[in-house]
Chain A
């Protein structure tokens, strides 16, 4: 018993349940996934086929999925960084009353699942003239839109859904960062006669850099992993694959078509894309220079 209570052994006991489940449920499947990507996996018959899966991956459908996903990532990253900064600064300013109410309303959408939120959007952006979005367009004197059946409007729906759900969370991140800006700096800027925009640009923004890097990073990674937004609008498939994403392609090939080897190969490529982007970003933002802590 004494042995189990020694300071040398205890940390390992604390860590071990996690390590064991981690090895079984993350490390093992990650390795299996890489091996599978070199196999043809059929029921009761597994065979190594070298790089054949990878050769097949680079086809027009994959490029379509990749370009959809990339456009989605660029748009969501831009919107989910710029808008939250603006709203956070406004919510933090002394001019704003009812701060708690505003913050709570903007955060509210986060609580709905993508499926519930997507269902609302799907019915609001319905094809009929009676659906909310088209009513609004008609009222403004514009033609109704077949929202889910055009490439641009399909992308618009996916991006809108994502921005609507995540805006509030990102505002909270930026609001927290704004608390770190010392008031004296604003006072000094006031004395120097800086305008509101100069203060924002030279005083506020530099303090927001770390949290901006964080927000951009998770937005990129989550963007490349997107699946639900597309699924809720088109389920099995979109016309001309306008809503197909990389993960949607993995699901379609690996689960629906039961071609697990091929699906795994797409998964490995997705992982490489995410690694490369994270790596480039870490270098650009100088995260490696900071040291460990």
Chain B
């Protein structure tokens, strides 16, 4: 009986402890949501503050960004377009490569795979200055293409798709060949659908990466109307800023597409993280 009681206390301590930890983790998000409902003049005076006047909470900031937020919606559109194109292109190229590396036996395969793994270690930061020079020469500075192109090559995705494709049922390929299917037909009609979960996981990872990408767009994008959301929001973060309405409500709106993407693909996400991660 006594040990039963001890167990109960232990359970309570653990669960209350975890609840507190989770509250701390969610605290900044909760404060952001509350702050987005406070008048921007108040925000400017106090920052994100624990003490605020509940009666002053209203939707004015959201009203403002939906009616007259200047460039905010162009940033939003830019981010949406750039992320969508990046996801589609990088998934398309990388899944083909990962698949080929896993199911075909061809000369140079191992060398190529070693190369992909090696390149995973090359930091993007060493590429960014030469890439910027190339973009100037190709006149792609301040364009969508300039932001997207370097993101299309995703060795991490290749690696991930290869790991996943190693588990594909290759017997299906022979069966399809006998039925007269081409190799491309086999990939697009049979194998790619089987790789669905890995595509979902990578869509989230690439989407998160592209939506939140900062350094490269900061370098390539020059004009206010071409900025992506993180760059645009960062320009509002000045010591003299009085744009707290757009900044805070705009930040909340930034998270919305990510949450939608996440809800859509989330059942693949945990599985995806673990196949990609643990074997890495």
Closest to B204 in A: A111
Q: Are A250 and B153 touching (Cβ within 8 A)?
A: no
Q: Say yes or no for A219: interface residue by CB 8 A criterion.
A: no
| Chain A residues near B15 (CB-CB < 8 A) | 95-98
Binds A, one of B42-50, B55-63, B66-74: B42-50
Q: Are B50 and A132 touching (Cβ within 8 A)?
A: yes
Q: Are A29 and B230 touching (Cβ within 8 A)?
A: no
Q: Say yes or no for A85: interface residue by CB 8 A criterion.
A: no
Binds B, one of A58-66, A72-80, A151-159, A224-232: A224-232
B258 CB to closest chain A CB (Å) equals 5
Report how far A91 CA is from B251 CA in the complex, Å: 30
User: What is the interface of chain B mostly: helix, strand, loop, or mixed?
Assistant: helix
A211-B22 contact, Cβ under 8 Å, with A15-B112, A29-B130, A96-B15:
no
Q: What string of 1s and 0s marks CB contacts (under 8 Å) between A83-118 and chain B?
A: 000010011010111100110011011111111110
Partner of A22, one of B10, B128, B153, B215: B153
Q: Say yes or no for A275: interface residue by CB 8 A criterion.
A: yes
Report how far A73 CA is from B216 CA in the complex, Å: 22
Q: Are B125 and A270 touching (Cβ within 8 A)?
A: yes
Q: Say yes or no for A252: interface residue by CB 8 A criterion.
A: no
A233 CB to closest chain B CB (Å) equals 9
- Tally chain B residues at the interface, Cβ within 8 Å: 88
A271-B126 contact, Cβ under 8 Å, with A8-B106, A26-B153, A211-B277:
yes
Q: Say yes or no for B64: interface residue by CB 8 A criterion.
A: no
Report how far A33 CA is from B7 CA in the complex, Å: 61
- Tally chain A residues at the interface, Cβ within 8 Å: 92
| Chain A residues near B273 (CB-CB < 8 A) | 169, 172-173, 176
Report how far A169 CA is from B10 CA in the complex, Å: 27
Q: Are B14 and A12 touching (Cβ within 8 A)?
A: no
Interface residues of A in 1-19 (CB under 8 A from B): 5, 7-8, 10-12, 14-15, 17-19
Q: Are B29 and A26 touching (Cβ within 8 A)?
A: no
Q: Are A131 and B46 touching (Cβ within 8 A)?
A: yes
Q: Say yes or no for A188: interface residue by CB 8 A criterion.
A: no
Q: Say yes or no for A30: interface residue by CB 8 A criterion.
A: yes
Q: Are A111 and B270 touching (Cβ within 8 A)?
A: no
Additional pairs, 4, CB under 8 Å, beyond known A15-B100, A228-B215:
A108-B29, A130-B49, A235-B234, A250-B129
A-B interface, 10 closest residue pairs, ranked by CB to CB distance from nearest: A113-B212, A126-B47, A176-B274, A14-B100, A32-B130, A130-B46, A29-B130, A267-B126, A11-B104, A105-B22
- Residue positions of A touching B, CB distance < 8 A: 5, 7-8, 10-12, 14-15, 17-19, 21-22, 25-26, 28-30, 32-33, 36, 41, 87, 90-91, 93, 95-98, 101-102, 105-106, 108-117, 119-124, 126, 128, 130-132, 135-136, 164, 167-169, 172-173, 176-177, 210-211, 214, 221, 224-225, 227-228, 231-232, 235, 247, 250-251, 254-255, 260, 263-264, 267-268, 270-271, 274-275, 278, 292
